[in-house]
Amino acid sequence: MPSRPSKTLDTFPNPAPSRDYLIHMEIPEFTCLCPKTGQPDFATLLLDYIPDQTCVELKSLKLYVWSFRNEGAFHEAVTNRILDDLAKAVRPRFMRLTARFYVRGGIFTTVVAEHRKKSWEPQPKIDLDAFPAQSNTR
């Protein structure tokens, strides 16, 4: 049976809930419709998140993204809606959605929206370039 678009986002248990780690996804085939002209808009979605207790299941994410194909939406609205739906389903510690829309009327649009769990603070970033490489020669 062929797949169909769906607004359902399934999750699965985070295999390492005691650790902050980043999940990065690139979704290069996002489409929706311009609410003014009805013409298709194309974008690459970049999803970055630090899960808490659950992670988003990839097939459901694919079907969810597909569900926007025939919907009219402004870039800003659809980016924030997708982030809200994902944050509600996954309840991550942190989530960022970057939507890079292809040119329309000579203008490229990028929309970035973020969600942060109220009690979560990021771990300090470790700059590995700050430590010089050790030489094996003595």
Q: Are 99 and 45 in contact (CB under 8 A)?
A: yes
Any catalytic annotation for residue 127? no
17 torsion bin: left (phi>0), alpha (psi -120 to 50), beta (else) = alpha
Q: Could you give the CA distance from residue 44 to residue 91 in angstroms, rounded to a whole number?
A: 23
Any catalytic annotation for residue 34? yes
Active-site residue, from 10, 20, 32, 41: 41
Residue showing tokens 């942190």: 94
Q: What residues have CB less than 8 Å from 132, skipping those under 6 apart?
A: none
Q: Could you give the CA distance from residue 95 to residue 116 in angstroms, rounded to a whole number?
A: 6
Active-site residue, from 10, 20, 34, 85: 34
Catalytic machinery residues: 34, 41
